[in-house]
Chain A
Amino acid sequence: MADAEDNGEFYLRYYVGHKGKFGHEFLEFEFRPDGKLRYANNSNYKNDTMIRKEVFLTPAVLKECRRIVSDSEIMKEDDNNWPEPDRVGRQELEIVMGNEHISFTTSKIGSLMDVQTSKDPEGLRIFYYLVQDLKCFVFSLISLHFKIKPI
């Protein structure tokens, strides 16, 4: 099992967003096979503009991202019983790992209550926590690389 995951392709993309009063507000990031991490965060709230950052990651970072994904076992799940994207919002998670390619879509998840009351609480819980862990990872990478520390 280690072989199939350690070797071969790796690609990951996550999107969460909605369209509303403040335009198309979304967060999206993408780990590309060549090491490039792209990050975009858009909102027109108070006339804010889009933030777009990109940086090349080393193989060590991609390897850690793969480990986080494979430890979650998200590749074994399926979104067919997850709530469909709706007016409130949409999430997309697309991952290529080894010879598997998943592309899941679902609505926004407000809290664990939404997970517990869904038709596939086990699978949706895995998704819910994986997304949080990935966001932590990406926010750390992006803020460390681009943000100046205030005094």
Chain B
Amino acid sequence: MRLSVAAAISHGRVYRRFGLSPRSRLDLLRNLVTALVRYERIETPWARADEMRGYAERLIDYAKRGDKDERAMRMADFWLTEKDLIHKLFKVLAPRFQPHAGSYTRLLQIPNRDGLDRAKMAVIELKGNPLPPLVRPRRDSDRTLLNQLLKGYRQDAQRARGT
């Protein structure tokens, strides 16, 4: 039940509060971004993944500018705590996403965490990663009405072409 309407109104504030302070919030998100760049698919609470998504996509936009750019290099240096990932960002991820204009990540919800907190978990992954896909696109079964009608139409067309 809605305990307080006032608690849900944010008056246009878009950034969630994490950790102990604004610095701590950025550090937390920085660790998550580093992990995402390293493993390309991570499982975290949904709120953190959602917050981190914006930063990850902007980081890739900066990386697309090229590593000669002073500002891009400073951003990558701040956001990636493990310095070998800076090379991966500029040499592997930037060319991979060069044809796209945006939306380099995919966020999918998974069943709640098993611990006491039952937190809403999500999986965030970079598109085009080498791991097996999370969602297999399933074709509709042959038994549906529409597919049966289409099958019949195809067979009639073949018979008409044959004779």
Q: Do A and B come from one complex?
A: no
Chain A residues within 8 Å of B, Cβ to Cβ: none
Chain B residues within 8 Å of A, Cβ to Cβ: none
